[in-house]
Homo-oligomer: A and B are copies of this chain.
Amino acid sequence: MNDDKNKKSALTVNSGIPQPPSISLDSVSKFIQKKKKQYTVDEYVRGIVHGDIKILSQAITIIESYLEEHQQIAREIIEKCLPYSGKAKRIGITGIPGVGKSTLIETFGKHITDQNLKLAVLAIDPSSEKSKGSILGDKTRMEDLSIDNNAFIRPSPSAGTLGGVAHKTRETIILCEAAGFDVIFIETVGVGQSETVVHQMVDVFLLLMLTGAGDELQGIKRGIMEMADLFVITKADGTNARKAVITKAQVENAIHFFPATDSGWIPRVQTCSAQKKQGISEIWNSILEYYEILNKNKFLENKRLEQSRYWMYEAINDVLRSKFYNNHEIKSKLRTIEADLMQGSISSYTAAMNLLKEYFKEM
């Protein structure tokens, strides 16, 4: 640091007035090289369809941007990629922190790429900034996959609401499919609302669980167990191996109480050890079976159509709500009315009606 300082002083005229640091032509050209080329929509689409990962990455960045001009370009790229999409297996993976998700994704992912299948790993975690980017923020936690030519790892967009992030992830799936990825993992931490959202954009949903069946399972959020198509008891090795079998039986007993799925698929419980690479091919085989059943009875096709419908209505309702709650008059009035409501001096319905009258009068 001191060296740098001295260097700078030596190169600039020491007149007492701050001077810009001198820069060489070489560093200028490097700067220009570094600045990403702006492609046209058609160039983006062509690049994506040809499987160009750099262009794919840049297109995803545009999708994730909240700038008006980027949003417009993003819309066009997505619409043009749409005809090339839909062929991948969309797999949701969730589980509480500490369940061994990264290790499983790495090992399971390698099992997939070793078959010369292309794998994209996406994540939904709108709180990643708060949780210090634990999820996919650090590619080093998937060392092998991150240097695998058949794999593409993309961290969760770090800005935006859950709804916003979800839309962007859903559009990223379209782009990845257009780029020829065969399998897409959508990862989420098993502690929040994001599981429901992921469930609405994947074909099959994996819930990773720890052995022990004790309090560590209590962290699993309401309803998540009932969304799972496949339960995977992780770390089933060493002294855990026997416990994993017991947990498996207990989970099997618990899911017995869940309602039958509409798809005809009966949720399955498996154990695995990512470290010892045991039970990994069995997970993949279960997923293949799942697809076989759901393709045969056309359930998968219908599920995806229903998901499309769901996301259209979600987007509409999101905008309707945000227009209302971001309205200047409503914002200030809401605070007063909510205070009245909390004091019990007004009913919920009347509070709502008062605000709505204000809003529609204004519009």
Q: Which residues of A contact B (CB under 8 A)?
A: 75, 78-79, 82-83, 86, 167, 170-171, 174, 213, 217-223, 225-227, 250-251, 253-254, 256-260, 305, 308-317, 319-321, 323-324, 337-338, 341-342, 344-353, 355-356, 360, 363
Cα(A337)–Cα(B82), bound, Å: 15
Given the contacts A86-B344, A324-B320, A78 and B350 also touching, CB distance less than 8 Å: yes
Cα(A308)–Cα(B171), bound, Å: 36
Closest B residue to A174 using CB positions: B347
Cα(A219)–Cα(B260), bound, Å: 8
Cα(A360)–Cα(B348), bound, Å: 27
Identify A258's interface contact among B86, B222, B250, B324, CB under 8 A: B222
Q: Are A308 and B342 in contact (CB under 8 A)?
A: yes
Given the contacts A222-B223, A226-B223, A348 and B257 also touching, CB distance less than 8 Å: no
B-chain residues with CB within 8 Å of residue A323 when the two chains form the complex: 360
Q: How far is the CB of A151 from chain B (nearest CB, A)?
A: 26
* Identical copies in the complex: 2
Cα(A267)–Cα(B9), bound, Å: 72
Closest B residue to A82 using CB positions: B347
B-chain residues with CB within 8 Å of residue A253 when the two chains form the complex: 250, 253-254
B-chain residues with CB within 8 Å of residue A83 when the two chains form the complex: 344
Q: Are B254 and A352 in contact (CB under 8 A)?
A: no
Q: Are B344 and A259 in contact (CB under 8 A)?
A: no
Cα(A174)–Cα(B347), bound, Å: 9
Given the contacts A82-B344, A312-B341, A355-B316, A218 and B259 also touching, CB distance less than 8 Å: yes
Q: Are B254 and A348 in contact (CB under 8 A)?
A: no
Closest B residue to A330 using CB positions: B316
Closest B residue to A306 using CB positions: B342
The list of the 5 closest CB pairs from A to B, nearest first, reads: A315-B352, A311-B348, A312-B348, A320-B320, A222-B226
Cα(A309)–Cα(B339), bound, Å: 10
B-chain residues with CB within 8 Å of residue A213 when the two chains form the complex: 256-257
B-chain residues with CB within 8 Å of residue A79 when the two chains form the complex: 346-347, 350
Given the contacts A308-B342, A352-B319, A347 and B78 also touching, CB distance less than 8 Å: yes
Cα(A135)–Cα(B129), bound, Å: 49
B-chain residues with CB within 8 Å of residue A351 when the two chains form the complex: 312, 315
Closest B residue to A260 using CB positions: B218
Cα(A249)–Cα(B313), bound, Å: 42
B-chain residues with CB within 8 Å of residue A311 when the two chains form the complex: 348-349, 352
Q: How far is the CB of A149 from chain B (nearest CB, A)?
A: 29
B-chain residues with CB within 8 Å of residue A346 when the two chains form the complex: 79, 82
Cα(A355)–Cα(B311), bound, Å: 13
B-chain residues with CB within 8 Å of residue A319 when the two chains form the complex: 352, 356
Q: Are B315 and A353 in contact (CB under 8 A)?
A: yes
